[in-house]
């Protein structure tokens, strides 16, 4: 009887382990955008690079700077402003209606301001699936 129970529990354990390895979940585009915003707000460039294609997002930079240097300058500017008591570099998600749309290998995450007086009405993150992970390839700021 003990032997039968041991075999049964061994089989159940093998099935659970087998199912668990097949259930690898691709993180949602929204999760990737949140991780990018978080990493940038801490000026953690190595972490942020996991979630963004810097060349695609910042290559249209008019300056003579490289795309990576333009991105770092912008990120550091907001990071340093966040140290001032008058400003904050914390993203207030509760001030936005957040929408996510996926279409196979493309996605958009839209943050739409709930305050009509805000100068930026929407922030649109465009993502592509690359190597089984989502990656930000474009960021648009829609003004009124």
Per-residue pLDDT tens for 61-97? 666 789 999 999 999 998 888 877 777 778 889 999 9
In sequence order, which residues have a C-beta less than 8 Å from that of residue 127 and are 6 or more positions away? 29, 32, 33, 106, 107, 108, 109, 134, 135, 136, 137
Per-domain residue ranges for the chain?
28-143
Element (DSSP H or E) covering residue 79? helix 67-81
The pLDDT, as a whole number, for residue 21 is: 46
What are the tokens at 62?
Answer: 């008019």
Identify the DSSP state of 64: S
Residue 52: how many other CB atoms lie within 10 Å? 24
Q: What is the pTM of this model?
A: 0.78
Q: What is the CATH number of domain 28-143?
A: 3.10.450.50
Mean pLDDT, the chain cut into blocks of 10 residues (144 residues total): 51 53 73 96 95 92 81 91 77 93 95 93 95 94 90
pLDDT of residue 87: 75
d(CA 74, CA 85): 19
Q: Which pLDDT does position 5 carry in this prediction?
A: 52
The whole-number pLDDT of residue 30 equals: 97
Backbone angles phi, psi at 111, to 5 degrees: -110, 110
- pLDDT for the residue 48: 97
In which element (H, E) is residue 140 found? Answer: strand 133-143
């Amino acid at each position: 009887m003990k032997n039968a129970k041991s075999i049964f529990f061994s089989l159940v354990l093998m099935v659970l382990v087998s199912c668990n390895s097949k259930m690898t979940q691709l993180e949602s585009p929204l999760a990737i955008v949140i991780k990018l915003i978080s990493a940038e707000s801490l000026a953690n460039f190595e972490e942020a690079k996991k979630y963004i294609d810097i060349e695609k997002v910042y290559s249209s930079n008019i300056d003579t700077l490289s795309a990576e240097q333009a991105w770092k300058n912008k990120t550091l500017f907001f990071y340093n402003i966040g140290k001032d008591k008058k400003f904050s570099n914390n993203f207030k998600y509760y001030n936005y209606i957040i929408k996510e749309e996926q279409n196979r290998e493309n996605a958009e995450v839209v943050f739409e301001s709930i305050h009509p007086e805000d100068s930026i009405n929407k922030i649109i993150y465009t993502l592509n699936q690359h190597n089984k992970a989502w990656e930000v390839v474009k960021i648009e700021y829609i003004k009124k």
